[in-house]
Structure formats: C-alpha cells, structure tokens
Structure 1
Amino acid sequence: MAVKALEVRSLTKKVKNKVIVDDVSFVVEKGEIFGLLGPNGAGKTTIIRMIVGLIGRTKGSVYVNGYNLDEQFKEAMSEIGAIVENPEFYKYMSGYKNLKHYANMARHKVTEERIQEVIRVVGLEQVIHQKVKTYSLGMRQRLGLAQALLHNPSLLILDEPTNGLDPQGIREFRDYLRSLTKEGISVIVSSHLLSEMQLMCDRFAIIKQGKLIHVSSMDLHNEQDQSLQNVVFEVSDVETAVQLLQENKLTNELKIVGDQQFSINIDKETIAIVNQLLVKNNVNVYGINLVTTTLEDRFLELTGKGKEEVKTSVFAN
C-alpha cells in the first residue's frame, strides 16, 4: 500500500470535560492540496497543532510520510514545514538573518544556495536584508513560507497562510503552491476564504464542532450533476408557465422565485423540452440560467449556518 503524505487516525482532544476535536480521521495524498474548512472555533487550528506536535493528543495517531509521530518524532518532523497562526520572527534582525538562524537549527544542512532559492520563490529579494520590524503582515507571511520551505519538507501545513496578502499576492501564492505539488510536495491548508480554497484545493474536509462532517474532491464538487440541474427560467407570464409545467408533470422542485422567474430541477434534455413547451403556448422565454453551487453554498448547507452568521464568523479576520 502506498505511503500517504499524512494520515490522521481518530484524532481527539479533550480539555477537562469539553471535547475540542472528536475522533477525526483523514488522509492527505502525495502531491495534493488538502483544505481544512470550518467555522471559527470548529477545531481546525487544534487539529493542526496536534499534527505538528505543539499540543498533546487525548487519543489518536498521526503518520507523516509513513513515520509515526509518537515513535519517530524527529523523522516525522523533518518531513513537515509549517506556518501555524501568525509566523513569529526576531523583529530586530533582517529577514535574511532570521532565515539563516532557522537554517542553522535544521536537522539537515541547509545550504546558502537553498536559502537564496526560497527567498526568490517567495518574492522577498528586494527586502530580505531589511529588519523584520519594517515588514508588512503580507511580507511576514512570505518570510514564514520561506522558513517553512528551507529544509525541503514533503508536507507543508499552513494555517491561514494568505492573511495580509493582497489579491495579486494570494494568486501568486496559490500558483506557487501548485508548482510545489508538481514536485510531489503535499499541502494541508486551513483558511476562512472559501472562494480562494475552491480555486486552491484538490480535496477538502469540513469540520463542525470538532467533528469531521464531510470530505470531498473539489473536482466532484465543481462538476455539475448532468442528470439533474437547478435551472431558473425568466418568462413573460410565470403563473401560466407554472400551470403548463404542472399539467405536463414537470414539477421537480418547481418554485416561483420572482415576478417573472421560476426554478426547476431538470436534466439537460428537459431544459429544451420546457423551453419548447413555453414558446409553443405563447409564453416568452427571456432567459435560462443554470444555478451553480459554490463551495460557500456547500459549506452553509453542511454546517447549517446562515449567510449573516457566516459573515460574522467564518469570514471574520
């Protein structure tokens, strides 16, 4: 059986009588980006902190590239590069001296060439010799990524890695992660930016109140069900249109959604049939729109949150 980049089995964390993480299991394949999603307080950061050994586990085991975190801690940690919450550096030192400091502490030798390489890939060449106290939050995020990459890890674990980055920086960061996966590096990333995660990840897991409630491939999520699609018709006479559909037994999830609009769940061929039926009976059709389901929609469905609740919770910085 092929070795997984990361395997988490029955991960559990209790504090006194409160269960923070409840029997969570998942795997991250080699060369994939795996998203960890959930409302604030769902347990995402606690899971990440247990994986990297920052806090203890009440129950469960963690395997990194085949190494058991309990029995082969040094070997497992040598496979991981991580940014957990906001990266911290010596602010009175330059970015370069901070990287040099971390390189000197690495288990395996980190060459000057490697240091210069990661500086280039994170785009800090122009400021690397400035003191970190002069860096913006986005620049510190880039420096944190450089530090995590120094020792050539096989697994990157990133908790809210795009905090402080502008849209261009986020896109560059996403493209860079993609280039890493082509080299066989795996990434697990936690973020509240659901639209960005939809563009970034190969698979995702949703955590709610410490429990893993859903795991899916992003490809499967993005694919529209070709046998059944939610379609909105804009017409001249919505009441007549609905009556015609009822008479012809085309009523699957049929709803009036506006003065001139109705929605219905139908397959591709039936879209044409409905259109012909309406036109034949003198109901003008002004628009036919497929309703796509976003990752945010799926998240709201699975976590049972409303739009306003999400705005003040999941999407809060």
Structure 2
Amino acid sequence: MSNIILSVKDLTKKIKSKTIVDHVSFEVKKGEIFGLLGPNGAGKTTIIRMIVGLINKTAGEVSINGYNLDSKYTQAMNQIGAIVENPEFYNYMSGYKNLLHYKRMSEKDLPNDRIYEVAKLLKIDHALKQKVKTYSLGMRQRLGVAQAILHSPSVLILDEPTNGLDPQGIREFRENLRELTKHGVSILISSHLLSEMELMCDRYAIIEQGKLIHIESMNETTNLEEDLLREVTFTTDDSEQAQKVIKEAKNIPVNVLSPTQISVSITYNEIADMNKLLVENDRKVFEIVFVKKTLEDRFLELTNQSTEVNPL
C-alpha cells in the first residue's frame, strides 16, 4: 500500500482571465501533518475547497488514498474528513445526538460505539450528554473534528481551525491532532499562526500568488536535521584562544562574538567533538547553544516580506 494518502498534481483554478491557483502539486504522507502557508489571498482556501469538492477545479488531479477525485468521486470523498468553515451543530441537542445524526448520514455502516471511540480520542467523552450550546469554542472545535473523523477517513483537512481559540485551547487542539496521526490519520491544515504551525507540522508548503514556491520539512527549517550545518555558540573562558584552537585543528571559520563567546557553523554530530577539542586544549566551556531558525524567519526569507508586515 502506498505511503501517499493525498496527491495533488497541477491543481489550477481560473476565474475568467484571472488565475487563482496555478499548477500546484504536493503530496501528504500517511500519519503526517502537512501545512499550507501563505499570505491572505494566496489561494490556500481555494486549494482546500477544490480538494474537498466544494468548488470545481479548472485543471489538475486530486487523488485520496489512491482514488481519483474525478473518476471515483464517491470513493475519494469517503476518504476525506474536513472542517472548512466553523463547524455547525444543533445547539439544542447533545453532543452525542449531533454525532449520532452525522453517523446516520454516513454511507458507511458505523457501529454506535464509534461515537464514544472518537469522543474519547478527542477528550470530549465527558461532555457527550451535554447540549452543544453549553460547549466552549474549543469543545465545539473538537466536536467538529469528531464529526469529521467519525467515518474513519484517511485524511483530515482543516482550514484555519484554531481561529478564536485561546492559547490553552490551541494547545489542546494541537495535542488532539498529534494523537490522530498516531492512529494513522493524515492531516492537511491551513493556518495563519506561524508559531503554532511550527509546533504542529511535519512538513509544509508555501503558497504565494497562487503558486507553490517551496516545500520543506519542519526539521530542515529549524536546523534539527543531524547532517545540516547550524550556527553554534560556545561560551568559553577566552574567545581568542578558543578561536586559535579551532582554527589550528579544524581550519574552519570562527566568529568572535565577545571576549567569551564564539560561533561556528557545524553539524549536530560535530558539537560534542568541538566541545571535546576545546576542553582537551585547556579551554573552559560554560555553555553551548545552537541558533534555531524559526518558521517565521524561513517564511519571510522565502517570500521576501518585511518583518514589519504581518506575513499572513
């Protein structure tokens, strides 16, 4: 079985002479969280709406778990769970009855205990008997996800799902999504919260003016890949002497930041060796810090936007 759950190839949307989405291609792997980033109006929501069949595409192909959206529409749609707008429920009914209503609408024959299964997974099982009008916004969002995964889809698609949530609600929502991936669910998510996407996503794509300009793993962005060079700062007893030791042994550039601090570009696996080198040459090392690039840094770098402008 393929590891690719969602495949988007040359997805294009034109309205008269205007191109809204221009030949966008990407793949989402099983059990990963894949983020769509981009400025307002970049085309993220249009891409999501085409994937879930809410609007027609001009060109391109979408396949979900091997089912082509054009030739096997019903089978493909059965593989998708989605929240594109804010989830809507019958407020006068309990959470359980709302989920029961959606279960009856499903083309799959779902057992009743599936409701309790997804509710427990999303930590709302304690509130199933309460009317939805008593739910907080965070609980509504989780109930929305419960409804979206009730039929055991292969991929969950979310467009700005944390809008309006407080920090605690966002954190809980992130933990819920991570728990879903442990059960094999793939997630495609669009959000304007870069710091949150950094904590949430395994990989991401940047969309600008309808075009996909970059795809990267979050580990690459934050320099967590072991074989990637990263800037590492060493706090020692004497920067000049530490610089001399490294240059003589390694012949690599060393930046002197202060009388006690130097920085070098090395890989993760070389950090311990560098520390050993300094100590063996009678240099005291008090602190080692590697400079971590943020998703916001990478986003602004790739989109050439000023930090004075809200990137999303």
Fold similarity call, TM over 0.5: yes
SS at match of 1:178: helix
Evaluate the alpha carbon distance shift between residue 155 and residue 259 of structure 1 in structure 2; reply closer, same or farther with a 3 A threshold.
same
Q: Tell me if 1:219 matches 2:219.
A: yes
SS at match of 1:157: strand
Deviation at 1:70, TM superposition (A): 1.0
Partner of 1:230: 231
Deviation at 1:38, TM superposition (A): 1.7
AA of the residue aligned to 1:39: P
User: What are the superposed Cα offsets for residues 142-184 of structure 1, whole Å, 9 maximum, x if unpaired?
Assistant: 1110110111111111122233444444333333333332332
Within 5 Å, give how 1:1-317 maps onto structure 2: 2=2, 4-221=4-221, 222-223=223-224, 228-231=229-232, 265=265, 268=270, 289-309=289-309, 312-314=310-312
Deviation at 1:88, TM superposition (A): 1.8
SS at match of 1:5: strand
Evaluate the alpha carbon distance shift between residue 289 and residue 180 of structure 1 in structure 2; reply closer, same or farther with a 3 A threshold.
closer
| 8 A contact 2:219–2:225 mirrored in 1 | no
Higher deviation after alignment, 29-38 or 59-68: 29-38
Deviation at 1:274, TM superposition (A): 11
SS at match of 2:127: coil
Q: How many residues are matched?
A: 307
| 8 A contact 2:5–2:30 mirrored in 1 | yes
Evaluate the alpha carbon distance shift between residue 286 and residue 100 of structure 1 in structure 2; reply closer, same or farther with a 3 A threshold.
closer
Deviation at 1:261, TM superposition (A): 7.4
SS at match of 2:207: strand
Q: CA RMSD in A?
A: 3.5
User: What are the superposed Cα offsets for residues 38-74 of structure 1, whole Å, 9 maximum, x if unpaired?
Assistant: 2222211111110000011011111011111111111
AA of the residue aligned to 2:8: V
**Gaps (5+ residues) in structure 1?**
none
Q: What's the TM-score, normalizing by structure 1?
A: 0.79
Deviation at 1:83, TM superposition (A): 0.9
Deviation at 1:10, TM superposition (A): 0.3
**Gaps (5+ residues) in structure 2?**
none
| 8 A contact 2:232–2:263 mirrored in 1 | yes
User: What are the superposed Cα offsets for residues 115-167 of structure 1, whole Å, 9 maximum, x if unpaired?
Assistant: 12222222223433333333332121111101101111111111222334444
C-alpha distance in 2 between matches for 1:19 and 1:235: 56
Higher deviation after alignment, 90-99 or 223-232: 223-232
Q: What's the TM-score, normalizing by structure 2?
A: 0.81
C-alpha distance in 2 between matches for 1:181 and 1:213: 26
